[in-house]
């Protein structure tokens, strides 16, 4: 076995023999404040609002679907938002208030038994079962069985000829098509906007959950700061962050990215990079999940000396977040917040305009709308090459922010967000939660991604991620 194709040996790479001890002595700078699950009253209010909209739209019943997408995850958060069911299924919501909710699950082995998982306000749960010749030795398809079960239930309830509102996503199309065939005299009306409209402003109870999620993210970042030093791997930094937040109630360890290289980082997952002098580390916490809700923040770590250009980009992005945050208040236009964030870019000559349609961004196609060729070049990465692979393209293909906005709403996973960008002229309202993350990446030169999570308050804003400084964290090398 050659040196290039043998498995990476982290002891050879200078990693500490007992990496589990890296968190020894770690204590967060503040105490996490758990808030627990949302009370049933919160779901009662949501159901009342959903049924009211159903009445206005003329729906007799609403069907809500989420599917399994593997690894015990679901394709959307609609069921969790409506009845706190974290798994897949089809929820039947009769518009009439005197009729109970009914859930059709479990139709995949991906569904875990409670806890957690007891749905709120649901009277009956029907287990449809798992089907398939190879896995279960039972002929049939789960989707067909679910369609048959839901269709038969609607017929029994006198809803075989009805206006049916449907809430789901791309994975739902087969179910809706099957039900249209099963109930040909019924009409099916896409109704996901009912729930999406409810995502703009967070209730007091929801605000507390998002605040707790932001605390978990901040504790994770402090843990990452604690363990980061030359010789430590990105695996260990990621693990330290994960342990710190999940041991306090975080639901998952894969809702964030870490990027390390000497040019300025982009989003990624750990792959065995060993921290060295001159590295820039991006902790892009795109989703720490607590009680179903996410918080998002981003931080940078510089290891030893970095270039003047890199220092300028780090300061520019930090200034961008602070400029935008200073304008947050009820009544302010979202576009005003976005445009202010790009003023430091324009004043330094990095951008000509804050217009999201005009500015370059990392993943943009060519100016004429045609595909942009990712430059082919051998980019030396000794940690990747030690594992027998080579990086043969320059990512990203062009310079600019990661996206032509400075942030977006913070909610539950897969809910459609509103963006903080130049063409959004909505007014901010008390109770809105969103992230402001200023980003810039010039391939093989410099990069940064920093951001905070904000709650709009009656007279301004609360920085939910204030426990860790926005400015770059410095590690001696």
- Under the banding of pLDDT at 50, 70 and 90, the label for residue 267 is confident
317 and 462 inside one domain: yes
13-27, 28-42, 272-286, 443-457, range with the lowest pLDDT? 13-27
Residue ranges in 140-233 assigned as alpha helix (H):
142-156, 173-182, 192-197, 204-227
Which is higher by pLDDT, 12 or 359? 359
Residues 257 and 322 both lie in one domain: yes
Query: Residue 66: which CATH number?
Result: 3.40.350.10
Q: How confident is the model at residue 400 (pLDDT cuts 50, 70, 90)?
A: very high
Q: Which residues pair with 299 in a beta bridge?
A: 283
Tell whether 185 and 66 lie within a shared domain. Answer: yes
Please report, for residues 209, 253, 377, 464, the alpha-carbon distance to residue 34 in angstroms, rounded to integers and kept in the order given.
Answer: 8, 18, 48, 14
**Based on the domain organization, do 426 and 322 belong to the same domain?**
yes
Q: What percentage of the chain exceeds 90 in pLDDT?
A: 86
Same domain, 52 and 161: yes
Least confident of 134-138, 209-213, 302-306, 438-442: 134-138
Domain limits for position 151 = 40-197
Residue 13 reports pLDDT greater than 90: no
CATH number assigned to the domain comprising residue 416: 3.90.230.10
179 and 288 inside one domain: no
Of the three residues 179, 197, 215, the one that is the final residue of a domain is: 197
Residue 4 predicted with pLDDT over 50: no
13 occurs within a structural domain: no
Q: Please check whether residues 147 and 271 belong to one and the same domain.
A: no
Would you place residue 3 in the very low, low, confident or very high pLDDT band (cuts 50, 70, 90)? very low
In a domain, 3, yes or no: no
- pLDDT computed for residue 14 by the predictor: 47
**Residue 336 and residue 215 share a domain:** yes
Mean pLDDT of the chain: 93
Average pLDDT on 261-276 reads: 89
Per-residue pLDDT at 423? 97
Whole-angstrom distance, CA of residue 390 vs CA of residue 143: 42
Based on the fold, state whether residues 285 and 320 are members of the same structural domain: yes
Q: Of 164, 197, 230, which residue sits at a domain end?
A: 197
State residue 440's pLDDT score. 97
Does 398 reside within a domain? Answer: yes
**164 shares a domain with 213:** no
For residue 274, CA distances in Å to 86, 229, 257, 301 come to 37, 9, 16, 14
pLDDT given for residue 157 in this prediction: 97
The count of domains in the chain is: 2
pLDDT for 397 equals: 92
- Domain boundary residue among 151, 166, 197? 197
For residue range 312-371, list pLDDT tens digits in order: 999 999 999 999 999 999 999 999 999 999 999 999 999 999 999 999 999 999 989 999
Sign of CA dihedral 300, 305, 310, 314: positive
Could you report the per-residue pLDDT of 376-389, keeping only the tens digit for each?
999 999 999 999 99
Q: Does residue 154 sit within a domain? A: yes
| Confidence check: pLDDT of 9 > 80 | no
Average pLDDT rounded to a whole number, residues 102-112:
81
Residue 176 has pLDDT above 50, yes or no: yes
Give the pLDDT score at 144: 95
């Amino acid at each position: 076995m050659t040196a290039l194709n043998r498995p990476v040996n982290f002891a050879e790479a200078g990693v500490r023999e007992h990496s589990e001890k890296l968190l020894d002595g770690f204590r967060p700078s503040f105490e996490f404040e758990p808030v627990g699950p949302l009370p049933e009253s919160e779901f009662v209010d949501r159901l009342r609002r959903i049924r009211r909209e159903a009445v206005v739209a003329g729906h007799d019943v609403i069907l809500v679907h989420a599917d399994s997408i593997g690894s015990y995850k679901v394709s959307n958060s609609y069921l969790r938002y409506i009845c706190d069911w974290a798994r897949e299924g089809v929820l039947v919501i009769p518009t009439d208030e005197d009729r109970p909710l009914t859930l059709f699950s479990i139709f995949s082995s991906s569904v875990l038994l409670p806890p957690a998982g007891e749905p709120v306000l649901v009277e009956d749960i029907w287990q449809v079962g798992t089907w398939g010749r190879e896995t279960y030795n039972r002929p049939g398809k789960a989707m067909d069985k679910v369609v048959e079960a839901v269709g038969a239930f609607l017929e029994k309830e006198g809803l075989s000829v009805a206006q049916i509102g449907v809430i789901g996503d791309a994975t739902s199309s087969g179910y809706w098509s099957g039900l249209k065939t099963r109930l040909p005299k019924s009409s099916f009306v896409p109704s996901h906007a009912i729930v999406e409209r409810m995502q703009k402003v967070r209730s007091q109870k929801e605000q507390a959950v998002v605040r707790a999620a932001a605390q978990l993210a901040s504790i994770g970042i402090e843990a990452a700061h604690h363990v980061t030093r030359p010789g430590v791997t990105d695996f260990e930094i990621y693990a330290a962050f994960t342990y710190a937040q999940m041991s306090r109630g975080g639901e998952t360890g894969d809702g964030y990215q870490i990027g390390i290289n000497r040019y300025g980082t982009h989003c990624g997952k750990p792959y065995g990079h060993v921290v060295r002098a001159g590295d820039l580390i991006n902790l892009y916490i795109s989703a720490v999940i607590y009680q179903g809700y996410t918080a998002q923040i981003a931080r940078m770590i510089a290891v030893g000396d970095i270039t003047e250009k890199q220092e300028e980009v780090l300061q520019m992005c930090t200034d961008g977040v602070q400029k935008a945050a200073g304008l947050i208040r009820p009544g302010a236009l979202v576009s005003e917040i976005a445009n202010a964030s790009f003023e430091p870019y324009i004043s330094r000559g990095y951008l000509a305009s804050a217009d999201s349609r005009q500015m370059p961004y990392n993943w943009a196609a060519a100016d004429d709308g045609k595909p942009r060729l990712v430059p082919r070049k051998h980019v030396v990465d000794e940690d990747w090459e030690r594992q027998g692979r080579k990086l043969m393209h320059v990512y990203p293909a062009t310079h600019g922010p990661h996206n032509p906005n400075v942030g977006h709403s913070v909610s539950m996973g897969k809910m459609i967000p509103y963006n903080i960008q130049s063409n959004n002229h909505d007014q901010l309202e008390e109770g809105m939660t969103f992230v402001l993350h200023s980003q810039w990446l010039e391939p093989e030169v410099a990069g940064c991604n920093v951001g905070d999570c904000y709650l709009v308050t009656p007279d301004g804003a609360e920085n939910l991620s204030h426990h860790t400084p926005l400015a770059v964290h410095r590690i001696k090398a």
